[in-house]
Copies of this chain bind each other. A is one copy, B any other.
């Protein structure tokens, strides 16, 4: 509280996200963040413990953004409509920020900070499925199936893994329909 800080951890993470969006994970380097924030590289250590920790912060941000957006989209909807809205919102987010999504580590569980953020995202999914009255472990399996579909498609699309982008909307619609049918019949 002694000095009015030019830089804050939040601003460092902002710059990191910009870099990731522009150049992908490999472009996220302390030197680049320093250049962008107009500071010498070692100065960043006053706000962030290491490059690894900065990556963690980036992951948390992304998770929080996703959770916020999905929550908004799902509120006020119910049943199939809510599930479809969630799935489409997921894809939209990843299409908007493909590199950002790819930068997110798949295991938020090994990181203290990310664990909480990751759990909230999963809880939004669980809540969306709650109306289907699934019993205990059935709800967990249903949530996992949802994650698999939504993340599988998003990561392939974001990584340019589909040959031609042709008809991708159709493919996704089919996946949504497949999941909804499955929810009903399981």
Give chain A's interface residues, CB within 8 Å of chain B. 102, 105-110, 122, 137, 140-141, 144-145, 147-153, 155-156, 158-163, 167, 170-171, 174-175, 178-179, 181-182, 185-186
A-B contact pairs, 10 of them (CB 8 A): A107-B159, A109-B160, A109-B163, A140-B167, A141-B174, A147-B156, A149-B152, A178-B182, A181-B185, A182-B182
Q: Which residues of B contact A155 (CB under 8 A)?
A: 106, 151-152, 155
Nearest Cβ distance between residue A21 and chain B, in whole angstroms? 17
Q: A181 CA to B184 CA in the complex, in Å?
A: 12
Q: A162, A167, A185: which has the most chain B beta carbons within 10 Å?
A: A162
**CB–CB A145/B175 < 8 A:** yes
Closest to A185 in B: B181
Q: A160 CA to B105 CA in the complex, in Å?
A: 10
Chain A, interface SS category: helix
**CB–CB A149/B151 < 8 A:** no
Q: Which residues of B contact A122 (CB under 8 A)?
A: 163
Q: Which residues of B contact A151 (CB under 8 A)?
A: 152, 155-156
**A106-B158, A145-B171, A174-B182 given. 6 additional CB < 8 A pairs?**
A122-B163, A144-B162, A147-B156, A149-B149, A174-B186, A182-B182
